[in-house]
Structure 1
């Protein structure tokens, strides 16, 4: 029983201790001119859909939930956002080459069509981020229109 108490105490102290390890939040007050919405003059309804469903992980400004203050959750979210931004950062869209834009647009379409994005782990907590059939169709239409523009 004494060993169990020691183990619980060590785990508890470890948990409290990791709360003081800082993370690097993905927060920016600036929307750059290179942002996807600015570069492509996206309709308001599609802009809303993308901001709610994509921008937390694929931009330079995440709207963090309250539980982001708790470790190790904050580390998990920080790593997840870092990976998302490496794959696609909507704030840097204007800096991408046409070839990269085309590749990203194809990937966006594929991910949405295959229900891989937004991630189910994200929509489990963020119910409003789940895309309806109509929202998917609007985004896919935009993606296809942008690919056509790039091809011309």
Structure 2
């Protein structure tokens, strides 16, 4: 009886390995990528790459354990959630007021050490930002927000909610 249960569990474990989420990998840079309009200096690009883009872009570099279920499902859920909050690859598709607000949120999360997430840093030590890297990232974000505010063609006013 125990042998049959173990064989059944093994079969289920094997079958779930065949059910994989679509990978978050793009062949090219999106036309809506933040870098298509705003300068991303090389040092900031490296910071974004090591600490942000796995969850906040259309290009994730997957660790080895992403090849196994249920870990791949967990990672996919985490990535999709991160992209819902802020997606660097789709930044230009946001309405201007929303893009401006997303950068404010980025700054708040980085200033309060909420990003990158502790659980991400535990698995990716290189994502642990130094204070200098945090300042560079914050200054870059604030610079883009200032550039947006200076652009008279952009309406940064959040629309009022309908009641």
Fold conserved (TM > 0.5)?
A: yes
Query: 1:33 touches 1:39 (CA, 8 Å); kept in 2?
Result: no
Unpaired segments ≥5 residues, structure 1: none
Residue aligning to 1:111: 109
| Residue 131, structure 1, aligned to residue 126, structure 2 | no
Give, in whole Å, the separation in 2 of the partners of 1:126 and 1:141.
24
TM-score (norm 1): 0.91
Residue aligning to 1:120: 118
Give, in whole Å, the separation in 1 of the partners of 2:8 and 2:77.
26
Shift of 1:25: 0.7
Unpaired segments ≥5 residues, structure 2: 151-163
Give, in whole Å, the separation in 1 of the partners of 2:5 and 2:120.
33
| Residue 68, structure 1, aligned to residue 66, structure 2 | yes
SS at 1:40 equivalent: coil
Query: 2:100 touches 2:145 (CA, 8 Å); kept in 1?
Result: yes
Residue aligning to 1:10: 8
My pick for the range that moved more, 6-15 or 116-125, is: 6-15
Number of corresponding residues: 150
TM-score (norm 2): 0.86
After superposition, the CA RMSD in angstroms is: 1.4
Query: 1:37 touches 1:47 (CA, 8 Å); kept in 2?
Result: no
My pick for the range that moved more, 42-51 or 92-101, is: 92-101
